[in-house]
Amino acid sequence: MPDLLNKEEHKDLQEAQQLLELFSQAGWVEVLKPLLLGKLQTSWVDPSGDKDRERILDDYLIAWGAAQAAQEILDLEKIMESKHEGLVIKSEGKEVDNFRIGA
């Protein structure tokens, strides 16, 4: 059977497989993923206390940046699942129709 993936696609497939293995580990499922989800839910800043406007704004920007980074890492899981699925289908010689509706 001919090799249906180019060099870059082989590299992408290997990276996707490695990340999917990581995403199935207990450390990701039980520790890191809940921590990142928590960052998304608690990105607000408590303005009470002895803080001036500039310090509150700094705290807000730090919390916002942490939430953005957490979201990017969480999105990576879905992106890699999709990329892996598409490359496996292509490597098996099955037709890949990215414009098909439904499935």
Q: What is the pLDDT along the chain (103 residues), one digit of tens a residue?
A: 568 889 999 999 999 999 999 999 999 999 999 999 998 887 678 778 777 889 888 988 998 898 999 999 999 999 999 999 999 998 988 876 666 676 5
Tell me whether residue 101 is in a domain.
Answer: no
Both tokens of 31, joined, read 């520790």
3-state SS class at 45: coil
Tell me whether residue 99 is in a domain.
Answer: no
Structural domain range at position 61: 7-91
87 Cβ contact partners less than 8 Å away, ≥ 6 residues apart: 5, 9, 12, 13, 16
Our count of domains for the chain comes to 1
Rounded Cα gap, residues 82 and 48, in angstroms: 43
